[in-house]
Chains A and B, each alone.
Chain A
Amino acid sequence: MKLLSIKTIRAVFLLLISVASLSVKAQSDPTGQSAVTRTFAITNATVVQAPGKEIKEATVVIKNGLIEAVGTNLTIPNNAQVIDGKGMYVYSAFIDGLAYTGSKRPENVARPNNLFSPDPPNDYAGITPENSVLAQIDISSSTIGNMRKEGFAISHTVPYGRMLPGSGALILLGDKSHADEIMLMNDVSMFTQFAGAPGAYPGNVLGIMAKWRNLYRNAENNKKHYDAYTENPSGIERPERDRVTEAFFPVVTKQRPVVFDVAGVLEVQRAMSLQKDLGFKLIVGNVQQAWDIAPMLKNNGTGVFLSLDMPDMPKEAKGKDLEAMTEETKQLEARKMEFWKKYASQAAVLSAAGVKFGFSSLDATGNKIKANLMTMIENGLNESDALAALTINAASLLGIDKIAGTVEKGKTANLMVSNAPFFTKDAQIRYMFVDGDKYDLEIKEKKEAGKGNASEGSAAGAAAVVGSWTYSFETPQGETTGKMIIKNEGGTLTGSMTSGDGSGDVDMQDVTFVNGVLTFSISRDGGGQSIELVISGTVTGKTYNAEVTVSAFNFSTPLTATKDDGQ
């Protein structure tokens, strides 16, 4: 059975999208290799040097990958390619605080024969902090171009894996032919998450917390042993060269931060409690529920990368549906909305509490990032704080504020140029500069009022899939059947799946229909953890032949659906 991970499927489809757009109209410089000059001048633009610091009718000169000059009345070098920036806005390009961008999920480690579950090999246990994300970097990954399209030039990319997959690196989101060329800094963080090994220790959060303490305290002891031996080995037992403990040394000495993927408020507090016990430098990333713990984060000085993902806004019932609702249902619906607002205003709450934060795309879908940022701004985050989080705050949390995060002379030329102030609905990114290389992005024409640009690709030709379908697929306990209802809501495909066994409807997420391939994912609850199923396949007339993939179980099974008559 073919094993496809969720991210791989996403990557494949994002790749298809970009291939499709290339065939219509090639980007001017897709490889970055054919540039005739590395000197550029963007003239007559509004330059947002830093949050709240704007120069009108200014010029930015870029040379040899650096910002050579910023200001008015500048002399433009003879060999510069001049870009007329009239009406345009120049920003420091965004920095993604925690992401898998450019990283390729490796094959799952096979279950060893004769696995001794209390003490599995490190690679199966997911304890490989000595690894670097470098080994997983795939320069041909479409995620690099996709995040660049959203305005990002630097990504703190971390490896896939379990409890301690390895160190993260800062990569430049440029198109290059070798991984070394996009590497800004390696080993900038120790990445960790509450992901247990299947059927082996540590199996869940209980074991992971304990294992973390044990590894750390041993590393403290071992560091002393190593140091004493290095100073003078005479009469001292040779320390065992343990790669895991050695990987902890820069963490023990606080030279390297620990970056925790912790979405929920309890997970964030668990990471903080480990930090309190052990004393390492902590950054919490992919945070989705921090509105109640802002003062704690602030007092603790914990670095924060908030998730760029957001739950879908609950639909407000109208007309007949509203009349049919009982008072109790109305109250329950009101609570859903109350909590959606908490997610939407999380960034504003943290900002008001003085917490310094950046953003993370770890669980976010590229084409929703801008929309989600706009939602945060509508819910109280001010624009300059949003910009700071995307630029200078992220740079300072990652220790690169000397070279990135603002449009200043001497910094790396990572710039984003948009055709309107970025935090306006219709603003589109026209150019990206990554490490001084220019990338042209096409401006999409608005076709119809009310149609968002971001989702056009996914909704093109949507009529073929919109409607009601009857699906069936095999599970180990027999056949599961039900309905799939797919809608086109203002250019965005949405849908829900009903299940024949009477359990509730499940919303489809990330529904795309591209080149005859319909892809979406659903989440099901598996004993308290959310398990994602990715469904992808081709639509031929009224037939949908797809495969359901559950990467959590290395499982896939065929799904077929038939469009209901009269559609």
Chain B
Amino acid sequence: MIKNATVLTVTKGTLTNTDVLVSGGKISRIGKGLNAPNGVQEIDATGKFLMPGIIDAHSHIALSAVNEGTSQVTSEVQMGDVIDPFDVSIYRALAGGVTSTHALHGSANVIGGESETLKLRYGSTNPEDLKFENAPRTIKFALGENPTRGGRSRGIQPSSRMGVEAMLRNSFTDAQAYRAKWNAYKADKNPRKIAPEYDLRMETLVDILEGRVLVHCHSYRADEIYMLMKVFADFGITKLTYQHANEAYKVAPELAEFGAMASVFADWWAYKLEVYYSTAYNATILTRNGVTTSINSDSGELIRHLFHEAAKTQKYGDLTDEEALSLITLNPAKQLGIENRVGSIEVGKDADLALFEGHPLSVYAIPVMTFVDGVKYFDRANDIKDQRIYVNPEQAVENVTIFNREDQHRCMDTEVVSFEALFSNNK
């Protein structure tokens, strides 16, 4: 039981001097002066702030591989296959109050792989333990420079933005034909019928057509954001969240009308040509236009202070505390389809909680404890330096740089290992 905290519920306002009782991994009671049942551990949170665990809707931590960049449509691959529970970035994220991440495929492909929503249960050796049980399936798409650069370097489609749209339309048209073939087979009463070829790539695309998979699309420019809505409208696909979407503010009313959501950076841009026309008011403009918006990290470093990233929307755009906090809690939960489980402090929801010294939207905020399913995974008072789960007995301790370019741009590029890279100190 967390005693006497300022509870930032996100959905039901701010409750002062309030206790939150957790049992069986769920929030079971919220109120003033609660009596803890026998044997329940009490945490005195007087003067501290309790918020829902932060959710990062765009992350590539905890993955052994990010891109299968050899083909521009890889809807058959699954990030759930390559979860790396040993990634120390998971602990660093927990130390920033983060309890869930959306582990996305990279942006090398027009249609990348299925992503995996994770709960940061650090310490397990079993990748399955990190999966957010029963979270909806999601998939990564990508528009613009990244997939066209990959296409051009391999001499395959797409080499232009037009090619990206053509690949999307071709893929879904193929999927419709595939579905028709299988439906005909299933309807066939002939006992000696022969099944059509099975194609996992097409299976996933059919699931997207039928609304069983939420699409998260890497995008920057307003024209291509608008293009994808037209393509999806033509194929009857409705579940869509734009990732990065630096120019989404230009088409905010259109997004709202379509029901598309957006997950953006607070103030990060100009790292390539298509990302120049950007503004720190993006999240605010989208929010004011009724678009469900989140702020993400796409980085093993930014993920440690997403609460600061959210606070930037108060400097640029004057969002209320609740709106700003929603950007990193309830809204990303909605974008991942897990808002019935997490994203706010309500009775019955998962006890994924972050305790702060100082208001989390203040520059003086310090995360002090982080809980996933009521289990404490981070405690600033007991913060062991060496958090590695597996250690290589033959290796000297590796250099640790939390901020490095490789991490920053991990989702942007396909991984190419070259001989030169083996001898470069700046990997």
Contact = CB atoms under 8 A, between A and B. Distances in A.
A550 B419 contact: yes
Interface in A103-140: 116-119
A203 B69 contact: yes
Interface stretch (B214-222, B254-262, B382-390): B382-390
A402 B158 CA distance: 58
Given A118-B72, A269-B126, A237 B425 contact: no
Contacts of B421: 526-527
Interface stretch (A45-53, A173-181, A338-346): A338-346
A73 interface: no
Given A201-B68, A480-B423, A210 B199 contact: no
Contacts of A202: 68, 70
A200 interface: yes
Contacts of B195: 221, 224-225
B391 to A, nearest CB: 4
Interface stretch (B37-45, B73-81, B336-344, B363-371): B73-81
Interface string A499-514: 1011111010000000
Contact of B70 (A207, A339, A477, A480): A207
Contacts of A206: 65, 67-68, 74, 77-79, 81-82, 105, 113
Interface stretch (B316-324, B349-357, B392-400): B392-400
B156 interface: yes
A193 interface: no
Given A214-B200, A553-B419, A117 B71 contact: yes
B381 interface: no
B125 A265 contact: yes
Contact of A209 (B81, B86, B416): B81
B154 interface: yes
Interface in A255-312: 265-266, 269-270, 273, 289, 292-293, 296, 311-312
A283 B417 CA distance: 30
Interface residues of B, number: 58
B272 interface: no
Contacts of A531: 417, 422
A217 B200 contact: yes
A19 interface: no
A522 to B, nearest CB: 10
A199 interface: yes
B156 A117 contact: yes
A209 B63 CA distance: 14
Nearest to A211: B76
Given A202-B68, A218-B198, A335 B425 contact: no
B7 to A, nearest CB: 38
Nearest to B384: A331
B417 A529 contact: yes
A17 interface: no
B420 A270 contact: no
Contacts of A266: 64, 84-86, 127
Contacts of B79: 206
B198 A312 contact: no
A207 B74 contact: yes
Contacts of A205: 64-65, 81-82
B336 to A, nearest CB: 20
Given A213-B200, A507-B394, A118 B194 contact: no
Most chain B CB within 10 A, of A237, A312, A313, A332, is at A332
B424 interface: yes
B192 interface: yes
A359 to B, nearest CB: 20
Given A205-B81, A225-B195, A476 B394 contact: no
B174 interface: no
B427 interface: yes
Given A206-B65, A209-B77, A527-B427, A269 B127 contact: yes
A480 B67 CA distance: 31
B197 interface: yes
A328 interface: yes
B188 interface: no
Given A210-B76, A270-B81, A476 B427 contact: no
Nearest to B113: A206
A475 B420 contact: yes
A4 interface: no
Contacts of B425: 501-503
B386 A118 contact: no
B133 interface: no
A352 interface: no
A22 interface: no
B171 to A, nearest CB: 12
Interface string A537-567: 0000000000000100101000000000000
A207 B67 CA distance: 9
A292 B390 CA distance: 11
Contacts of A214: 76, 198-201
Contacts of B385: 328, 331
A528 interface: yes
Contacts of B154: 117, 199
B393 A293 contact: no
Interface string B403-427: 0000000000001111111111101
A207 B77 contact: yes
A35 interface: no
Given A118-B71, A336-B393, A527-B415, 11 more contacts: A204-B68, A207-B68, A210-B81, A221-B195, A225-B195, A296-B126, A312-B393, A336-B392, A505-B396, A526-B421, A527-B416
7 cross-chain pairs, A with B, having the tightest CB-CB distances, nearest first: A118-B71, A340-B393, A210-B76, A203-B70, A206-B68, A201-B70, A209-B81
Interface of B: 64-65, 67-74, 76-79, 81-82, 84-86, 105, 113, 125-128, 154, 156, 192, 194-195, 197-201, 385-386, 388, 390-397, 415-425, 427
23 contacts: A117-B71, A119-B71, A199-B154, A202-B68, A206-B82, A207-B70, A209-B82, A214-B198, A214-B201, A218-B197, A225-B194, A225-B195, A236-B194, A269-B128, A270-B82, A293-B126, A312-B394, A475-B420, A475-B423, A480-B423, A524-B422, A529-B417, A531-B417
